[in-house]
Amino acid sequence: MEIAYFLGCIMPNRYPGIEKATRILFDALDIELKDMEGASCCPAPGVFGSFDEETWATIAARNLTLAEDIGADILTECNGCFGSLFEANHMLKEDEDKRAKINANLAEIGREFKGTTNVKHLAQILRDDVGFEKISSLIEKPLDLNVAVHYGCHFLKPTAEIGIEDQAENPSILDDLVELTGAKSIDYKDKMMCCGAGGGVRARDLDVTASYTKEKLDHMSAAGVDAIVDVCPFCHMQFDQGQTEVNERYGTDFAIPVFHLAQLYGLAMGLSAEELTLDAQKIDAAPALAKALGENAK
Amino acid sequence: MSIINRLKSLFSEDKDKEEKNVADEKSDDVGAKPSNLDDAIVSGTKTSVPISDVLKKDEDAASEVTFKKDLSSIEEQRVEEDLPIIEEDEPSNDEEIPKVEEEESEVEEVQEVETSEIEEEVPVEESLDVEENTSSDEEDVNTDDEEESAEKADDEEKQNEDKKRDNMTLLTDKELLTDANRDPEFTAEFIDAGIETVKHCFQCGTCGGGCPSGRRTPYKVRQIVRKCLLGLKEEVITDDALWMCTTCYTCQERCPRSVKIVEIIKKARNIAAHAGYMAKPHKMTGVFVINTGHGVPINDATKALRTKIGLSEVPATTHADAAALEEVQKLCKLTAFDELIGYDEATGGLKE
C-alpha cells in the first residue's frame, strides 16, 4: 500500500519528532509513504479560508494535484491540514462551477484538479485501513500512562461531510487508538472543547486563545492525567507552547506534557524521547516518560 | 429608497417569478411547499414582502405568521400586520390570476392599498412617543388654569418613571432598524455562495449555548447569523468579534436546522477582509505563505533538530523546491491575494 504523505507546516517545521515517528510507524506497518514534493501550506483555513475562499481553494487544489500525480490517497496528521484539504477536495468534487474556476487558475501553472484522490487523517487510516490488531502487534513497551485525549475540531467535524464518526459529542476512535498502547484515556470535563488556537484566533488574540487553553488544562488537571494526546500539530503547539503562555498569564504551574498520537506509538514501539524530539518541547516530558515506561525509563 | 419604490422594483424584478408561482399554485394549490415557505420567510425578512406572492398563498399565511413572530423589530411587525388587512380588502385575489396583464393591474391596486396602509401606520413606529404626547395633551385640557404646574408635575412624573425604569431589568434599547440599515446584496452573497441554510435559522440559540468563544468574548454567533440574514452588512463586517470564532464547529454540529454556521462565519469574514477589515498578524501569515509556501516556515532550531534525528534538514516541500514555491506565488497573484493583504513584492513584507 502507498499513501501520499502531506506534511503541512507546524509538524515538519516545529515538531519534526512527529514526522520521524510517523515514518517509522508506517515502515513497520508496511505502508509506503510517498512524499508530496513541492507541497505547501494546506493553506491555513483561519487566514486563507477566512480571507478569500478562491485563494484557499486554489492552493489547496494545487496540493491535491500532487497526490493525484502520485496516484494515491493523502495521509495528513494535522487536523487543520485535514480540514482544509478534505473540505477543498469535497467541494471541488461536488461543485462543478467552483471546480471550473479553480482549474482555470491551476491551468496557469500547468495543473488540473481531477478529483481522483481522497484525503485521510492518520487516525482514520490506522483504524480503517490498518486495523487495531496490526497496531497492537507493534507495541513493544505498553505504556503505564493516564492521558487526556484531545480530539481537536477539524478531525471529525463537520461530521455530516467527514463521516469518520457519526457524531462528535462522544466519539471513540482516538480513545481506542490510544488505549492500544496500554495507556488509559481518562474522561474529563468538556473533553471535546477546542484548544483555542484555530480559526485565526491564536494569531489575532493570544489572550482569548490562552483562556480556552486554560479551561482545557484546568479540566485535564482535575482529572489527574499524566499527559495530553492529540492528533494535530497546531493543537500540539497550543498545549505545549500555549501551556507556558497560560502559566505566564494566569500564574499557574501547569506541566502536562503533550504527545501526538504518532509520538505515543513511537514511545510504545521503543523510540527514545530524543528521536521523538520530546526533549525539545516546552513542557518537560521526563516525569511522564519515567512513569509510562516504568523500569524501562532511561 | 422609499418602501414604495422598493416594492415597485421588486415587482418588476419578480414578474417572471410570479408567473411561475401562479403555475405552481395551480398544480399544487393546497400544499404549502417547503421551498416556497422558505422563500416567503426570506423575502419577509429582506427588504419587503412580495405581496402578490402572499396573497396567492393565504393557506400559508398562518404558518408564516408563526414563523415570523420571533422577528424583533417593530418595522417588520408592521409589515406583517399589513398582510391580513390586505387579504380582507381583496378577497378576490384568492382566485387564480390567468393573465399577466391582469395580474399587473391587480398588483398596482395592491400597491395603492399598501401605500395607504403605510401612510396611516407611520406613527406606529413612534408609538411610544405618541402615547406619551397624547396623555399629556389630555391632561393639559383638563387642567386649564394650572397649566404650568401641571406640566412641571408631569415632568417630574416622567422623571420618576425613567428612574423606575432604570432599576428594572427590561431592555430599554429603543433603536429601530429600518430598511436603510439593510443591504439585501449582503444576504444574497451567502445564498450565492451556496449557504442557503442561512435562511433556515429560527434563532433558537443552540449555537450560542455551546459556543466556547461566546463564553469569553463578545462573539454572539446567533446574532451574527441573524444579521447576515437581515443584511446588516456594516454591523457584521466591522465587528471585531467576528474574528473570535475558532471554527470549532460545535454550533454547526448541534444546530437543529442544519445551518452551515461556520460557512456563514467564514463567508462574512471573506466579505469583511475584502472590505479592508484584516488583522495584521493574519496578513503576516499570508506573507509567510507567499514568501516560503508555509504559514509557519522552518527556523534554524528545527533545522538542527531535523538533522539530529535523521530527517532531511528542510522538508521536501516548497522549502526545498524553488519551482514549487513559484507556483504558489503565481497562484496568489492570480487570485489577487497579494493585493488583498497588501503584499509588497519589493520588500517581501507588507506595504504599510
The pLDDT assigned to A294 comes to 85
Q: From CA B124, how far away is CA A21, in angstroms rounded?
A: 70
Cα dist from B303 to A40, A176, B38, B308, whole Å? 17, 34, 56, 9
**How much of chain A exceeds pLDDT 90, in percent?**
97
> Is A159 in CB contact (< 8 Å) with chain B?
yes
B65 closest CA partner among B82, B89, B50: B82
Q: How confident is the model over B178-212, as pLDDT tens digits?
A: 898 899 999 999 999 999 999 999 999 999 999 99
The pLDDT assigned to B153 comes to 60
The pLDDT assigned to B79 comes to 40
The pLDDT assigned to B172 comes to 64
Q: Which helix (H) or strand (E) holds B118?
A: helix B100-121
Average of pLDDT values for B209-230?
97
- Residue B95: CB atoms within 10 Å: 8
The pLDDT assigned to B169 comes to 64
The pLDDT assigned to B246 comes to 97
Place of cell 514501539: A269
For chain A, the first-to-last Cα distance in angstroms comes to 35
> Is B37 in CB contact (< 8 Å) with chain A?
no
pLDDT band at residue A44 under the 50/70/90 scheme: confident
**How much of chain A exceeds pLDDT 70, in percent?**
99
Q: From CA A131, how far away is CA B197, in angstroms rounded?
A: 38
Burial A191-206 (b: 16+ CB within 10 A, else e): bbbbbbbbbbbbbbbb
The pLDDT assigned to A97 comes to 95
The pLDDT assigned to B175 comes to 75
Q: How confident is the model over B305-330, as pLDDT tens digits?
A: 999 999 999 999 999 999 999 999 99
> Is A16 in CB contact (< 8 Å) with chain B?
yes
pLDDT band at residue B176 under the 50/70/90 scheme: confident
Question: Which residues on B lie below 8 Å from A78 (Cβ)?
Answer: none
Burial B261-297 (b: 16+ CB within 10 A, else e): bbbbbbbbbbbbbeeeebbeebbbbbbbbbbbbbbbb
The pLDDT assigned to A47 comes to 85
pLDDT band at residue B101 under the 50/70/90 scheme: very low
Q: How confident is the model over B78-100, as pLDDT tens digits?
A: 444 333 333 334 444 444 444 44
**How much of chain B exceeds pLDDT 90, in percent?**
48
Maximal CA-CA distance, chain A: 61
The pLDDT assigned to A224 comes to 97
pLDDT band at residue B215 under the 50/70/90 scheme: very high
pLDDT at B53 over 70: no
Structure-block grid coordinates of residue A234: 497546531
Q: From CA A278, how far away is CA A272, in angstroms rounded?
A: 9
Average of pLDDT values for B259-277?
98
Average of pLDDT values for A208-224?
98
CB–CB of B296 and A208 under 8 A? no
pLDDT at A159 over 50: yes
The pLDDT assigned to A267 comes to 97
Query: Which of A56-70, B121-135, B191-205, B244-258 comes out lowest in average pLDDT?
Result: B121-135
Mean pLDDT, rounded, of chain B: 72
Q: From CA A17, how far away is CA B41, in angstroms rounded?
A: 54
Contact B346, B338 (CB under 8 A): no
Residue of B299, B335, B339, B350 to mutate, testing the A interface (most A Cβ within 10 Å of its Cβ)? B335
pLDDT at A34 over 80: yes
Looking at the partner chain, which of A14, A106, A204 has a beta carbon nearest the beta carbon of B282? A204
Q: How far is A148 from chain B (nearest CA, A)?
A: 19
The pLDDT assigned to B352 comes to 74
Q: From CA A44, how far away is CA A84, in angstroms rounded?
A: 7
Q: From CA A81, how far away is CA B281, in angstroms rounded?
A: 20
Those residues with Cβ within 8 angstroms of residue A224's Cβ, 6 or more apart along the chain or in another chain: A146, A186
pLDDT at A84 over 90: yes
pLDDT at B114 over 90: no
The pLDDT assigned to B224 comes to 98
CB–CB of B249 and A35 under 8 A? no
Question: Which residues on B lie below 8 Å from A52 (Cβ)?
Answer: 270, 273-274, 335, 337, 340
Looking at the partner chain, which of B244, B266, B330 has a beta carbon nearest the beta carbon of A208? B244
pLDDT band at residue B44 under the 50/70/90 scheme: very low
The pLDDT assigned to B9 comes to 55
The pLDDT assigned to B148 comes to 55
Average of pLDDT values for A229-250?
98
Q: How far is A269 from chain B (nearest CA, A)?
A: 16
Q: Which helix (H) or strand (E) holds A248?
A: helix A233-250
Structure-block grid coordinates of residue B205: 440559540
Average of pLDDT values for A194-204?
97
